[in-house]
A and B are shown apart, each in its own frame.
Chain A
Amino acid sequence: MNLLARLKAARGGAQKLGAQAEQDLVAWQALPRAQQSRSHFETRYVVLNTEASGLDLERDRLLAVAALGVDGGLIRPADAYYARLEPAPAETLVGLLGVAGKNPIVVFNASFNRNMLERALQEQLGLTTDFLWIDLYFLLPSLFPEKLERPSRLGDWMAAFGIETFQRHHALGDAWAVAQLLLAAQSRALSLAVATPRALAEHEQAYRHKLKI
């Protein structure tokens, strides 16, 4: 059984994909996992963000997704993705995976965004992913305690850094703000010798452990 067939089987009742999307998904599957012990400067992080019908993981539905690459410490407008799930949710998610690759993923508030995304990937594509997730919700207060001591809302962090975005509560609009926060976080982390995606994730874990979250 070839890879494609295996995928189809795994996805079970998942929605049928167009030929191009099928191909893209296979290509994504075949990608090696990105290195996690290279410096920030040599790493492409991908900021993921979602728009949902509400904040209740059980009841609310994913409406739109956005991805924004932060490659070598720079945000490139061309390296971005935004799409609503309807009318073709599976293809939208394949598109998202295409931009995300298997790079370290950065979100703000993983407990919502990560769960929303992982569930949608499972439902629509039958996929279980094992991204390296980094959550700025915890990372920022651990790196910038002088600004905000405790995990805080995105709006508070934007205010603390004077960061603005073109549209709040829009998956890409917020991702743009998160990406800028990531730039600042990378720089501060580097000065603390937290120099790689792996180290960032560990730094976040240590902080959460300290807070007992």
Chain B
Amino acid sequence: MSNEAAKLLVGASTDFLRNFSPFDRMEAEALAFLAERAVLGFFPRGADILTPEMGVPAHFHIVQRGKIQARQTGSTTVTEYASLTLGPGECFPIGAISARRPSTNAYVAVEDSFCFQITADDFLHLMQISPVFHLFCTQYIASLLTQSRQQLQTTFAQRAAEQQTMTTALGKLIQKEPVFVTPDTPTRQALERMSELHLGCMVVVDAQKRPVGVLTQSDLLPRVILAGFDLARPVGELMTANPHQLPLSASAYDAALEMATHGVRHLLVVDVEGELKGVVSERDLFSLQRISLRQIRAGIDNAADIEALQRASRDIRQLALNLIAQGIGAEQLTQFISALNDALTRRIIVLAREQHDLLGIDFGWFAFGSEGRHEQTLSTDQDNGIIFRVAEGQSVDGARKRLLAFAQTVNEGLAACGFPLCKGNIMASNPELCLTFEEWKSRFGNWIREPDPQALLNASIFFDFRILFGNERFENQLRTWLNKTVKGNSTFLRMMAVNALKVMPPLGRIRDFVLEDDGTIDLKKSGARLFVDVARILALRTGVDSSSTVQRLRQASVKIGTSSEEVDAITDGFNFIQLLRLRSQHLETEHDTPDDNRINPESLNELDRRILKEAFRQARKLQLRLKLDYQL
């Protein structure tokens, strides 16, 4: 700048900006660019600075003085994020201006405010010339993901809180009518009733039904047997007077505390008049504690029959709910679900094996599709198969017959535990899917050589295999063979790519999303699958052994030279869609409507909608890459 005055003013703006992040770290040249172009404007209290109706934002603002409130607009506003106040040094909009789309927030001055502004073009240029600013904006957009997750937690924490047993009022916990005697009751009679009703504790009440004492099983040895107490004498002489009592409104937590403090196992629950309403035992409280991962695992591993496994299966869903409430991400959550479902399936297999003679058969239980990728959601139907090898001189068909009978039992057991039978009959009990190693190779080989539509569809299900039970070496051997075979067949990969590009992300040109006829988006078909399909192709091409989508993308990207930031953005997008799927499934199963993967974007809050859009953009990016690679 040649002009001295401009230098002075730019210097002043620079000094101001340097007080705030990210400008304090910004490269000198970039900061000068910003300060030279920043013009100062004023917005009186109540003025709209930027609203969605204004269209694509023309300016990027940095608050110089005053307060600006960012308010979510639209009918699905969620209170936690309804507003956010921006003060000096804070800037807006970032997401909208980066993506050149209308802001989803309305920015209103809540005080007389001064804002520096630069044009959208200068903003984009600044992103280009300043790695610091670029990172700041990227992290801001990424932080939206975190916010969304936190918001998800709020929804679920509330639900979990309702089930959060330790805060439950004792009044709600008491299930049985209290059993009691009066102090003048002969001790023998009182003890007979305890024995008859399997009571750990007998309450002694007065004429107004107010507790005056208790007699517990642990009192019997010292006070009755060893003391040689005369059972004809009234129980009032034997009981522990002044028993511990709590009101109906006290919580389970209060009761646990009281028990721990006084070393008692029973507490009497009374109403406001002091009248006995029930007894709470230590055991009652224990059974209310949250189900833990370890407990479920133990429950599964020790289950003796399908009924016990059904309980475990319900516990898995409950745990998933708790884990979402605790804010666990989609990737870990699906891994947990996958691990527990694996344990459940293994137990079912072990139980079934006891009923069937599989002696001499070397086999492996295959999981295909989402189960094979460790990406099971809560409504996954069965996709399984068997790979086997027989000893020399043994009949393949004989072995197959025995395996099929065994598989039938397993499939039914799985169905009983909440994994619906596969409509497409992709199940181990299907003779077509209970094959020897050589048969699988020849089956896979045929699809690769002649990739007709059915073969490609099959590949998309069966190539995501893993061994869940049995001889795991089958998996490595088959994977190694498959990667080698596919590598030598570029036509097949090309056809897979064509197939993968048939479904586009449901992003609209005019509206945010392209919806199905019923106004929804299928998060599986037009969401998760887009990532899964591309990841499979990349994995086959680069010889990645993993069957999980995120792992495939991460490992393949190292080989094809995609930056880790780019991959993170892609996997974040995939995980977000998975999280939305889990959430909607969860909410729906709680309402007893059939599980599916459809969501109505209108039902999402503004923030989730924005992120979903970003996730679809990532899918589009991934597809574009594939298009370029195969020149499609």
Docked-complex contact B39 and A184, CB < 8 angstroms: no
Task: Compute how far the CA of A67 lies from the CA of B6 in the bound complex, rounded to whole angstroms.
Answer: 11
Docked-complex contact B11 and A166, CB < 8 angstroms: yes
Q: Any chain A CB within 8 A of the CB of B15?
A: yes
Docked-complex contact A187 and B36, CB < 8 angstroms: no
Docked-complex contact B8 and A184, CB < 8 angstroms: no
Task: Compute how far the CA of A67 lies from the CA of B35 in the bound complex, rounded to whole angstroms.
Answer: 19
Of A104-112, A120-128, A131-139, A157-165, the one contacting chain B is A157-165
* A165-B12 contact in complex given A77-B39, A183-B40, A184-B44, C-beta closer than 8 Å: yes
Task: Compute how far the CA of A191 lies from the CA of B35 in the bound complex, rounded to whole angstroms.
Answer: 31
Q: Any chain A CB within 8 A of the CB of B192?
A: no
Q: How many positions in chain B have a CB within 8 Å of any CB in the partner chain?
A: 26
Measured between beta carbons, the chain A residues less than 8 angstroms from B11 are 166
Q: Name which of B41, B42, B65, B114 has the most chain A CB atoms within 10 A of its CB.
A: B42
* A78-B8 contact in complex given A161-B112, A184-B44, C-beta closer than 8 Å: no
Q: Per-residue 0/1 for A160-176: is the Cβ within 8 Å of any B Cβ (1 yes, 0 no)?
A: 01110110000011001
**Residues 65 to 89 of chain A near chain B (Cβ within 8 Å):** 66-68, 73-78, 80-83
* A184-B42 contact in complex given A77-B36, A78-B1, A81-B3, C-beta closer than 8 Å: yes
- Rounded to whole Å, the gap between the CB of B265 and the closest CB of chain A is 66
Task: Compute how far the CA of A83 lies from the CA of B3 in the bound complex, rounded to whole angstroms.
Answer: 10
Q: Which chain A residue has the least Cβ–Cβ distance from B64?
A: A180
Task: Compute how far the CA of A184 lies from the CA of B65 in the bound complex, rounded to whole angstroms.
Answer: 12
Q: Any chain B CB within 8 A of the CB of A11?
A: no
Task: Compute how far the CA of A67 lies from the CA of B5 in the bound complex, rounded to whole angstroms.
Answer: 9
Q: Any chain A CB within 8 A of the CB of B38?
A: yes
Docked-complex contact B5 and A82, CB < 8 angstroms: yes
Q: Any chain A CB within 8 A of the CB of B17?
A: no
Docked-complex contact B4 and A74, CB < 8 angstroms: no
Measured between beta carbons, the chain B residues less than 8 angstroms from A76 are 39
Task: Compute how far the CA of A183 lies from the CA of B41 in the bound complex, rounded to whole angstroms.
Answer: 7
Docked-complex contact A66 and B42, CB < 8 angstroms: no
Q: Which chain A residue has the least Cβ–Cβ distance from B4?
A: A82
Q: Any chain A CB within 8 A of the CB of B537?
A: no
Q: Any chain A CB within 8 A of the CB of B63?
A: no
Docked-complex contact A75 and B40, CB < 8 angstroms: yes
Q: Any chain A CB within 8 A of the CB of B582?
A: no
* A188-B5 contact in complex given A74-B39, A75-B39, A166-B11, C-beta closer than 8 Å: no
Q: Which chain A residue has the least Cβ–Cβ distance from B111?
A: A162
Measured between beta carbons, the chain A residues less than 8 angstroms from B15 are 166
Q: Which chain B residue has the least Cβ–Cβ distance from A67?
A: B5
Q: Is chain A's interface secondary structure helix, strand, loop, or mixed overall?
A: mixed
Q: Any chain A CB within 8 A of the CB of B264?
A: no
Docked-complex contact B12 and A80, CB < 8 angstroms: no
Task: Compute how far the CA of A165 lies from the CA of B15 in the bound complex, rounded to whole angstroms.
Answer: 11
State which of A74, A83, A191 has its C-beta within 8 Å of the C-beta of B41. Answer: A74
Docked-complex contact B12 and A166, CB < 8 angstroms: yes
Measured between beta carbons, the chain B residues less than 8 angstroms from A83 are 4
Q: Any chain A CB within 8 A of the CB of B9?
A: yes
Q: Any chain A CB within 8 A of the CB of B10?
A: yes
Docked-complex contact B4 and A77, CB < 8 angstroms: no
Q: Which chain B residue has the least Cβ–Cβ distance from A71?
A: B39
Measured between beta carbons, the chain A residues less than 8 angstroms from B370 are none
Task: Compute how far the CA of A193 lies from the CA of B472 in the bound complex, rounded to whole angstroms.
Answer: 82
**Residues 525 to 569 of chain B near chain A (Cβ within 8 Å):** none
Docked-complex contact A176 and B9, CB < 8 angstroms: yes
Measured between beta carbons, the chain B residues less than 8 angstroms from A80 are 3, 5-6, 8-9
Measured between beta carbons, the chain A residues less than 8 angstroms from B4 are 82-83
Q: Which chain B residue has the least Cβ–Cβ distance from A162?
A: B65
Task: Compute how far the CA of A80 lies from the CA of B4 in the bound complex, rounded to whole angstroms.
Answer: 9
Docked-complex contact A183 and B42, CB < 8 angstroms: yes
Q: Per-residue 0/1 for A85-114: is the Cβ within 8 Å of any B Cβ (1 yes, 0 no)?
A: 000000000000000000000000000000
Measured between beta carbons, the chain A residues less than 8 angstroms from B460 are none
* A172-B41 contact in complex given A78-B3, A78-B36, A81-B3, C-beta closer than 8 Å: no
Measured between beta carbons, the chain A residues less than 8 angstroms from B41 are 73-75, 183
Task: Compute how far the CA of A190 lies from the CA of B36 in the bound complex, rounded to whole angstroms.
Answer: 29
State which of A68, A77, A172, A188 has its C-beta within 8 Å of the C-beta of B13. Answer: A77
Task: Compute how far the CA of A187 lies from the CA of B42 in the bound complex, rounded to whole angstroms.
Answer: 8
State which of B9, B42, B44, B65 has its C-beta within 8 Å of the C-beta of A77. Answer: B9
Q: List 20 A-B contacts (CB under 8 A).
A: A67-B5, A74-B117, A75-B39, A75-B40, A75-B41, A77-B6, A77-B13, A78-B3, A78-B36, A80-B5, A166-B8, A166-B11, A166-B15, A180-B114, A183-B41, A184-B42, A186-B42, A187-B42, A187-B44, A187-B47
20 further contact pairs, Cβ within 8 A, besides A172-B5, A183-B40: A73-B42, A74-B41, A75-B41, A77-B9, A77-B10, A77-B13, A77-B35, A80-B6, A81-B3, A82-B4, A82-B8, A161-B112, A162-B65, A165-B12, A166-B11, A172-B8, A176-B12, A180-B114, A184-B112, A187-B43
Binding site for B on A (CB under 8 A): 66-68, 73-78, 80-83, 161-163, 165-166, 172-173, 176, 180, 183-184, 186-188, 191
Closest 4 CB pairs of A and B: A183-B42, A80-B5, A82-B5, A77-B9
